[in-house]
């Protein structure tokens, strides 16, 4: 009886945690004052992966880590297509899917895949 209750509890926690990873995030939003002195010159999109060890099968990486990785990947993509002193603003990040990988002597770990987009800006000052 106790074993069945523990199994049901574990499955419930996994389902709840799995559903929590589908949220979207926003970062580096431009205010109206900033928009007055900056020009949006384009938009970039990218997909990226974040490996999460330990409880990577059920625990999503931290929000700060997701936002920082998205910014870095979008900036890399923007530098391939735009020249000058550019930056990325108005970043939107969406959870895509989770994959499991097996490493010998380490065990299972999770890889979280995200889609991100952001505006490429240049200062007009």
Number of domains in the chain: 1
pTM: 0.72
* pLDDT at residue 73 greater than cutoff 90: yes
Residue 19: per-residue pLDDT: 47
Task: Place 67 in a pLDDT band, splitting at 50, 70 and 90.
Answer: very high
Question: Over the chain, what is the mean pLDDT?
Answer: 78
Tell me which long-range contacts 31-40 makes (C-beta under 8 A, separation of at least 24): 34/89, 37/123, 37/124, 37/125, 38/89, 38/121, 38/122, 38/123, 38/124, 39/121, 39/122, 39/123, 39/124, 40/89, 40/119, 40/120, 40/121
What confidence tens digit (pLDDT) does each residue in 13-65 have?
655 555 444 467 777 777 888 777 888 899 999 999 887 765 555 667 888 99
Domain hosting residue 83, numbered range: 2-123
């Amino acid at each position: 009886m106790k074993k069945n209750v523990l199994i049901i509890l574990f499955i419930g926690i996994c389902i709840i945690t799995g559903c929590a990873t589908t949220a979207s995030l926003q970062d580096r939003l431009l205010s109206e004052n900033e928009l007055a002195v900056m020009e949006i010159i384009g938009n970039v999109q990218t997909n990226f992966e974040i490996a999460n060890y330990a409880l990577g099968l059920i625990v999503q990486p931290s929000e700060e880590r997701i936002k920082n990785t998205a910014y870095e990947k979008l900036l890399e993509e923007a530098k391939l297509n735009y020249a000058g002193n550019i930056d990325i603003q108005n970043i939107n990040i969406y959870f895509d899917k989770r994959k499991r990988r097996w490493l010998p002597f380490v065990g299972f770990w999770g890889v979280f895949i995200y889609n991100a987009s952001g505006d490429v800006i240049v200062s007009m000052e």
